[in-house]
Amino acid sequence: MVMAEATVMATFTATTVGTVRSRYEQPTGLFINNEFIASASGKTFVVENPATEEKICDVYEAAEADVDAAVNAAEEAFKSWSAVDPSIRGRCLLKLADLIEENLELLASIESSDNGKPLKLSRIDVGLVANVLRNYGGWADKIFGSVIDTGDTHFSYTKREPLGVCGQIIPWNFPLLMWSWKIGPAVATGNTIVLKTAESTPLSALVASSFVKQAGFPPGVINIVSGYGATGQHISNHMKIKKIAFTGSTATGRHIMRAAATSNLKKVTLELGGKSPNIIFDDADVEKAVEWANTAIYFNSGEVCCAGSRIYVQEKIYDEVLAAFKKRAEQNVLGNPFHEDTFQGPQTSKLQFDRIMSFIEEGKREGATVITGGTRYGDKGYFINPTIFADVTEDMNIVKEEIFGPVVTISKFKTVEEVINLANDSQYGLAAGIHTTNINKAHHVANKLKAGTIWINTYNDFHHQVPFGGFNQSGIGREMGAEALDNYTQVKAIRIAIGKDE
């Protein structure tokens, strides 16, 4: 890792990223008013590569004064951004999507260095980022109100108006993708934003933000700050922020709701944790179901909020599925994210690695059987072998709590009704998987499951036009699709008396 002296602008540091480009300019400042600036205090924090445990660079940390500066910039920009011809907002998003795509290899390699995900997955993420921005670019001039017939004495109509400055706080598992899910619907509808990246993965969003000015966004529309939970708290407590959108843990989601309640009752949408059931019926295509079960839990090192982390297999095929799944899990290639055949990179941070390892130890102590994995992989980088626990009971913590790593439990069930009850017995309700060749059963079970997304004979299968969000304690509101636009608009009703003018 080469660390160069800071360039003329003190807020840029040159670093190496993977194998794609040996050097590039990494913005390390706060992005406010279309410029990268140092934090007022000059305080920075270290960003690390989780595959090598080496430092990549230092990034400026936003304190309360910096959040205030970003909010003021966004508040000023809102005046004109909310009033402009919406097609101009659309054009900026479309241009930003093009710029992201033109820089796909660079952004993907930054993501892999910072987050640890395999380069081939990062490339997919960056492609999805462009899709999301383009989709919301297309929506910008298609936000309609309605005319309501209330009789001939009045003319009644509604408008959908933006909210104002929106605070957005994102996690570290899909850093750039979450940036796009948040930015797209917010700015398409005329809001301005102050977005905080996660402390362990701030780099890709900073580089992507360097294209914002070129895409034509006026200063202050998109503002990005780096920092820890304290920075997030300044955003969620801020009296000028009208809405907060958060993705992350359920525990932090509670803090954010509390902060919204005790400050200015800002609107809140939350995309939180999950403990999603993945059900394999005895009429399923076993080979395909096992492949999807593998993707469901081990994709992105298991750091996926909707990971299929509780597998339920109908008893007739349980032994067959368990043997095939163990074999499949052991074939997953772990290692350097920049090797083209790597399927699973490291966990994104030491903190997350330690959390997962302590869940694994707890599972062993609770008496579950480790079918495979349960150990660290290698001795450098935060890698964990794909882990399967069998002989579990529903009251075990490894069955109830979100682990957010490559760890899955597998259990047996007899009947359809039994597995519906098992699947729904959770504080969460983000997603669920069903594997069956019986279409009636698929629909029946899909109707009964309490989750925001149901995947049938597939898993982790997102599309930017399809809404995503949680039941129960998995969240409030939906992202992607037309539904996300509702989070960022408020309805104004206008009623005009039109009685005869005599």
Residues that bind ligand NAD (CB under 6 A): 169-171, 173, 196, 198-199, 228-229, 232-233, 236, 247-249, 252, 255-256, 271-273, 305, 352, 355, 402, 404
- E strands, 12-69, in order: 12-17, 21-27, 30-32, 35-37, 44-49, 54-60
SS3 481: coil
Radius of gyration of the chain (CA): 24
Judged by beta carbon, residue 407 or residue 485, the one nearer ligand NAD is 407
Evaluate the CA torsion angle 118, 124, 129, 132 in order and state its sign: negative
Q: What is the DSSP letter of 332?
A: P
CB of 238 to ligand NAD, least distance (A): 11
Judged by beta carbon, residue 160 or residue 355, the one nearer ligand NAD is 355
Q: How far apart are CA 184 and CA 484, in angstroms?
A: 9
- Identify the bridge partners of residue 468 per DSSP, sorted by sequence position: 479
CB of 31 to ligand NAD, least distance (A): 16
Instruction: Count CB atoms within 10 A of the CB of residue 499.
Output: 8
Half-sphere exposure for 462 (CA within 13 Å, toward CB): 23
The answer to whether residues 478 and 469 touch, using CB atoms and an 8 Å cutoff, is yes
Across the beta sheet with 147-148, what order do the strands follow? 147-148, 154-162, 489-497
Q: What is the DSSP letter of 6?
A: P
The answer to whether residues 194 and 165 touch, using CB atoms and an 8 Å cutoff, is yes
Annotated active-site residue 271? The verdict is yes
Helices (H) and strands (E) in the chain, counts: 15, 22
The answer to whether residues 301 and 408 touch, using CB atoms and an 8 Å cutoff, is no
- Of 111, 271, 303, 479, the active-site residue reads 271
Q: Are strands 243-247 and 267-271 parallel, antiparallel or unpaired?
A: parallel
Token code pair at residue 130: 């462009």
CB of 451 to ligand NAD, least distance (A): 14
- Identify the bridge partners of residue 194 per DSSP, sorted by sequence position: 167, 223
Element (H, E) at 497: strand 489-497
| Rounded (to 5) percent helix, strand, coil in the chain | 40, 25, 40
CB of 40 to ligand NAD, least distance (A): 19
In the complex, residue closest to ligand NAD by CB: 232
Half-sphere exposure for 240 (CA within 13 Å, toward CB): 16
SS3 154: strand
Q: How far apart are CA 353 and CA 109, in angstroms?
A: 22
CB of 312 to ligand NAD, least distance (A): 21
- Phi first, then psi, for residue 193 (nearest 5°) are -135, 155
- Known catalytic residues are 271
